[in-house]
């Protein structure tokens, strides 16, 4: 009997349990056993911290947010910090993980993760581990897959928030700035902003000027539209080029705070009452959308198919409505960012949304 190990690493993300559910369902049908390592790669440290996953254990988990395995974006296996500084996992840690794999007779390891975790997965693969990658992140910033699960759920939360902010902004004739997640990519802000009817969207990929943002607010006022909703991605850069972040003593600084800064500047430049709201981890929590449940299931089943075919070192990938696979290294070489002259940005501009650049 083949025994598969699965772990998820990095930030949690709606749809993780759907992947686990899919993996366990497909593997069980093939007569394989699945064990889930707890708290990301940390579960691989000897003697192994894991739970046996069978279909009794995974009943009903698909609709649950978070992950039944627990996760971390810290620990012994961090191989990449920020946009690109690859450090590598120390050899003694790799050796420990190898001994756990051998002890537990793991024939294949499914790693569900974003950019950082897949960088670790790639290193382990290059060092001989039978690894399959599954792309996960609400940020949707992974190359080599058109979409990651979790993104749609995050966007749905942004849209819901904007619907709510719309009624209060209109009642008070205010400007409201909503800061959303996404790290260095503006996908959540762009899709959430369009779906939620934002008037201004500020992205890391499109440099903006506050005078243009203020102009957009004043133009609306002149038309009698006395409230304005502005969505700003946490990674958007101020005119000085600064990305606003919270200092961290361990690892990467956390992005956050640009919403407050933009709100203050808008108030100064327009003299309109302005409020800022940061959506934060609400975007990561809660039940996955139906799209993310289905995508997660498809990814999980595909990962098991790849193991069956012995296609290690590959990552499940979604392209043109089809779930296929690509080498893991294609996914982690660089971040997938919003194309400033792409169709979605053009669509937004066509319906009058300002990006603060004209």
Residues noted as catalytic: 139
Site for ligand F6P in 271-330 (CB under 6 A): 284
- Provide the minimum distance between the beta carbon of 137 and ligand F6P in the complex, in angstroms, as a whole number: 5
- Provide the minimum distance between the beta carbon of 5 and ligand F6P in the complex, in angstroms, as a whole number: 23
Nearest partner of 117 among 153, 90, 142, 96, judged by Cα = 142
Work out whether 137 is an interface residue with ligand F6P (CB under 6 A). yes
* SS3 label, residue 293: helix
* SS3 label, residue 164: helix
Q: Which residues contact 281 (CB under 8 A, 6 or more apart)?
A: none
Q: Which is nearer to ligand F6P, 11 or 204 (CB)?
A: 11
d(CA 263, CA 27): 51
d(CA 262, CA 277): 11
Q: Using CA of residue 260, residue 264, residue 267, residue 269, what is the dihedral sign?
A: negative
Site for ligand F6P in 16-45 (CB under 6 A): none
Piece in contact with ligand F6P (CB under 6 A), picked from 24-32, 60-68, 162-170, 178-186: 178-186
Burial class (CB in 10 A: 0-12, 13-18, 19+), 327: middle
# of chain residues touching ligand F6P (CB under 6 A): 13
- Provide the minimum distance between the beta carbon of 297 and ligand F6P in the complex, in angstroms, as a whole number: 21
Q: Using CA of residue 124, residue 128, residue 134, residue 140, what is the dihedral sign?
A: positive
Work out whether 182 is an interface residue with ligand F6P (CB under 6 A). yes
Work out whether 190 is an interface residue with ligand F6P (CB under 6 A). no
Candidate residues 183, 293, 302, 336; the one interacting with ligand F6P per rule CB under 6 A = 183
Candidate residues 2, 64, 68, 73; the one interacting with ligand F6P per rule CB under 6 A = 73
Piece in contact with ligand F6P (CB under 6 A), picked from 27-35, 63-71, 131-139, 169-177: 131-139
Residues in the chain: 358
Question: Which residues partner with 180 through β-bridges?
Answer: 233
Q: Among all chains, which residue has been given the structure tokens 């949707």?
A: 140
Q: Which is nearer to ligand F6P, 97 or 255 (CB)?
A: 255
Work out whether 11 is an interface residue with ligand F6P (CB under 6 A). yes
Work out whether 181 is an interface residue with ligand F6P (CB under 6 A). yes
Work out whether 70 is an interface residue with ligand F6P (CB under 6 A). no
d(CA 140, CA 114): 9
Token couple for 84? 């690109």
Q: Which is nearer to ligand F6P, 226 or 282 (CB)?
A: 282
Piece in contact with ligand F6P (CB under 6 A), picked from 30-38, 92-100, 181-189, 290-298: 181-189
Work out whether 254 is an interface residue with ligand F6P (CB under 6 A). yes
Q: Among all chains, which residue has been given the structure tokens 């660089």?
A: 334
CA distance readout (Å), 123 to 50, 89, 115, 119, 134: 22, 8, 13, 6, 15
- Provide the minimum distance between the beta carbon of 267 and ligand F6P in the complex, in angstroms, as a whole number: 26
- Provide the minimum distance between the beta carbon of 48 and ligand F6P in the complex, in angstroms, as a whole number: 25
Nearest partner of 200 among 265, 137, 147, judged by Cα = 265
Work out whether 243 is an interface residue with ligand F6P (CB under 6 A). no
Site for ligand F6P in 213-242 (CB under 6 A): 234
Q: Which is nearer to ligand F6P, 249 or 341 (CB)?
A: 249
Candidate residues 4, 27, 138, 201; the one interacting with ligand F6P per rule CB under 6 A = 138
Work out whether 264 is an interface residue with ligand F6P (CB under 6 A). no
CA distance readout (Å), 274 to 168, 180, 182: 12, 17, 23
Query: CB–CB of 66/11 below 8 Å?
Result: no
Q: Which is nearer to ligand F6P, 71 or 274 (CB)?
A: 71
Work out whether 80 is an interface residue with ligand F6P (CB under 6 A). no
d(CA 314, CA 133): 6
Token couple for 148? 């990651």
- The site for ligand F6P (CB under 6 A) is made up of 11, 73, 114, 137-139, 181-183, 234, 254-255, 284
């Amino acid at each position: 009997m083949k025994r598969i190990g699965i772990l998820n690493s990095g930030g949690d993300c709606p749809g993780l349990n759907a992947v686990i559910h899919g993996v366990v369902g497909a593997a069980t049908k093939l007569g394989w056993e699945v064990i889930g390592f707890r708290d990301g790669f940390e579960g691989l440290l000897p003697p192994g911290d894991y739970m046996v996953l069978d279909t009794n254990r995974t009943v009903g988990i698909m609709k649950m947010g978070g992950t039944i395995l627990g996760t971390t974006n810290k620990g012994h296996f961090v191989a990449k910090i920020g946009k690109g500084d690859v450090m590598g996992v120390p050899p003694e840690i790799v050796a420990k993980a190898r001994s756990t794999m051998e002890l537990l007779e793991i024939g294949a390891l499914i790693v569900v993760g974003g950019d950082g975790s897949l960088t670790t997965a790639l290193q382990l693969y290059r060092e001989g581990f039978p690894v399959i990658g599954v792309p996960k992140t609400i940020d949707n910033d992974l190359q080599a897959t058109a979409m990651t699960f979790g993104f749609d759920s995050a966007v749905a939360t942004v849209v819901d928030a904007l619907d709510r902010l719309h009624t209060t902004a209109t009642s008070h004739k205010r400007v409201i700035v909503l800061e959303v997640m996404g790290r260095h990519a503006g996908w959540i802000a762009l899709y959430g902003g369009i779906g939620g009817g934002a008037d201004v969207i500020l992205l890391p990929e499109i440099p903006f000027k506050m005078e243009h943002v203020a102009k957009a607010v004043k133009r609306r006022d002149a038309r009698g539209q006395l409230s304005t909703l502005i969505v700003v991605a946490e990674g958007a850069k101020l005119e000085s080029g600064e990305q606003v972040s919270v200092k961290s003593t361990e690892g990467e600084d956390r992005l956050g705070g640009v919403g407050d800064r933009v709100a203050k500047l808008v108030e100064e430049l327009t003299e309109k009452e302005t409020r800022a709201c940061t959506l934060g981890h609400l975007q990561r929590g809660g039940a996955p959308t139906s799209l993310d449940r289905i995508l997660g299931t498809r990814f999980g089943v595909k990962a098991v198919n790849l193991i069956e075919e012995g296609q290690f070192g590959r990552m499940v990938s979604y392209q043109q409505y089809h779930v296929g696979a690509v080498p893991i290294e294609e996914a982690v070489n660089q971040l997938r960012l919003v194309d400033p002259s792409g169709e979605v940005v053009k669509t937004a501009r066509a319906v009058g949304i300002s990006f603060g650049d004209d």
